[in-house]
């Protein structure tokens, strides 16, 4: 029987990063993962295979198509006869995925990580360690890391299949649907809805919550809704779906909105109402692995489960279901197992929505800060007053800084605009070290760059913005 110091169940961002870091630290490491793509093992989990990576590839392709159609003329570039080759676009997306998933397989070989393709299941204790069924082969592991991730949450009235899809199916449409319905106005719904709207679909978004992006700062949510409506996305909030009927040609959705019953007809329906922990086949019940009332694996602050030498990280333990959060937990846990001080600061994890414009935030919203009784100051600066944004021809949005009024400590950053997914990093770094808005304001930013908007927002928090 093969024996390992660390065995990771799950090869997504939490699992494969934990395995790599464990191997770097000298542990004999294995990873068992059941993700299959095109009939072959494919490391990287949901994120690399059918989530973060392919959706960003499609967002980029679809945005290029839209910009060419609507924005090139302003730059003096005239394009005629533009056409869409969906098959080639999907092929490019698949190529990006192949390169990255293949890259993870290469990193496993480089770090001498044993890879098993199939399900991983906790079988029984073996002294201080565990016997694990790794894709049909029993192995011994001194420590087991559960990183099995999450799965799309299904709507009971609309099980996945046929014209009703989740994120992976929404990335595989072979033709642009004339009418596309999206249930859920969260990150996935907005991104995938945006992809197909840009390519020509008439998109309707149905959301049960009474407002738009209620987890974001109010100012960001208000601006985002205005801009997305202008693009043509049709939003309906506070809806209650009462019936979903599918036939060969499409889907009919009946819902109530403001006490009125509406039935809408769609060619395709994307259901994006969140994700649930994936523990099927893990053997949790048989070995007594504790789960909470929602099915997440229970852990303490050191990612320890109720079972000795069994740990859990990533989506399967709840919290922010973000790939970068999962990766950081993988690194932190591997370092803890090596006796180091692994740590994740959950207060400054950035959130990003890769629409156009992009939305990004970290830390407290203005409302959250006030609800906590904090005395705050805010600064806001628009891209419309930024030279680089004007040169790009995209002046949508702004950056907003929230700081403590007494200590000046940065409490939150919120942005909407072109490329803000790349701009938020510097503020997160300053927040990680307990920095102030003054630290951000006095940091020299190259001119002309979009990052100057962040600096000016920090200056605005002290009522001394220079260019507005």
Known catalytic residues? Answer: 447
Tokens of 374: 């904090």
Tokens of 467: 């260019």
- 69-77 contacts: CB < 8 A, separation 24 or more? 71/393, 74/393, 75/393
Local structure of residue 35 (DSSP, 8 states): -
Measured distance between the N- and C-terminal CA atoms of the chain, rounded to whole angstroms? 69
In degrees, to the nearest 5, what angle opens at C-alpha 242 toward C-alphas 240 and 247? Answer: 130
For residues 215 and 220, what is the distance between their CA atoms, to the nearest angstrom?
A: 10
Residue 21 CB: number of other CB atoms within 10 A?
A: 23
Tokens of 70: 């609507």
Using only the alpha carbons of the chain, give its radius of gyration.
Answer: 24
Cβ within 8 Å of residue 382, ≥6 positions away:
395, 397, 398, 453, 468
For residues 312 and 9, what is the distance between their CA atoms, to the nearest angstrom?
A: 9
Is residue 354 within 8 A of residue 421, CB to CB? The reply is: yes
Cβ within 8 Å of residue 254, ≥6 positions away:
241, 242, 243, 244, 245, 261, 262, 263
**Whole-number Cα distances in Å, 213 to 186, 188, 272:** 7, 12, 14
């Amino acid at each position: 029987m093969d024996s390992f110091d660390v065995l990771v169940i799950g090869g997504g961002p939490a699992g494969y990063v934990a395995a790599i870091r464990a191997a770097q630290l000298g542990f004999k490491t294995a990873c068992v993962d059941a993700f299959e793509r095109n009939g072959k093992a494919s490391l990287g989990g949901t994120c690399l295979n059918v989530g973060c990576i392919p959706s960003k590839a499609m967002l980029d392709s679809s945005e290029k198509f839209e910009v060419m159609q609507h924005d090139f003329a302003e730059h003096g570039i005239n394009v005629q006869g533009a056409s869409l080759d969906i098959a080639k676009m999907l092929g490019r997306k698949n190529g990006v995925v192949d390169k990255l998933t293949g890259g993870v397989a290469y990193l496993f070989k480089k770090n001498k990580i044993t890879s098993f393709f199939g399900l991983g299941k906790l079988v029984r204790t073996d002294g201080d360690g565990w016997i694990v069924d790794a894709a049909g082969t029993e192995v011994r592991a001194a420590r087991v890391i559960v990183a099995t991730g999450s799965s799309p949450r299904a709507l009971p009235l609309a099980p996945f299949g046929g014209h009703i899809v989740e994120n992976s199916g929404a990335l595989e449409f072979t033709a642009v649907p004339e009418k596309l319905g999206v249930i859920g106005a969260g990150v996935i719904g907005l991104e995938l809805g945006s992809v197909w709207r840009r390519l020509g679909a008439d998109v309707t978004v149905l959301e049960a919550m009474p407002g738009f992006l209620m987890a974001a700062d109010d100012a960001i949510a208000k601006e985002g809704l205005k801009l997305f409506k202008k693009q043509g996305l049709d939003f309906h909030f506070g809806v209650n779906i009462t019936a979903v009927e599918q036939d060969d040609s499409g889907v009919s959705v009946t819902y109530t909105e403001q006490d009125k019953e509406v039935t809408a007809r769609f060619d395709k329906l994307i259901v994006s109402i969140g994700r649930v922990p994936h523990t099927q086949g893990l053997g949790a019940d048989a070995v007594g692995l504790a789960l909470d009332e929602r099915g997440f694996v229970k852990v303490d602050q050191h990612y320890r489960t109720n079972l000795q030498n069994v740990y859990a990280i990533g989506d399967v333990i709840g919290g922010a279901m973000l790939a970068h959060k999962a990766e950081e937990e993988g690194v932190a846990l591997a370092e803890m197992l090596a006796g180091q001080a692994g740590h994740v600061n959950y207060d400054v994890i950035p959130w990003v929505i890769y629409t156009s414009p992009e939305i990004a935030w970290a830390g407290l919203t203005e409302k959250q800060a006030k609800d906590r009784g904090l005395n705050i100051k805010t600064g806001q600066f628009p891209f419309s007053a930024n030279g680089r944004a004007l040169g790009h021809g995209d002046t949508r949005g702004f950056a907003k800084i929230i700081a403590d009024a007494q200590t000046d400590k940065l409490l939150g950053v919120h942005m909407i605009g072109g490329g803000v997914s790349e701009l938020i990093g510097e503020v997160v770094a300053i927040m990680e070290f307990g920095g102030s808005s003054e630290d951000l304001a006095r940091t020299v930013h190259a001119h002309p760059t979009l990052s100057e908007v962040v600096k000016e927002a920090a200056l605005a928090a002290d009522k001394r913005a220079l260019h507005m």
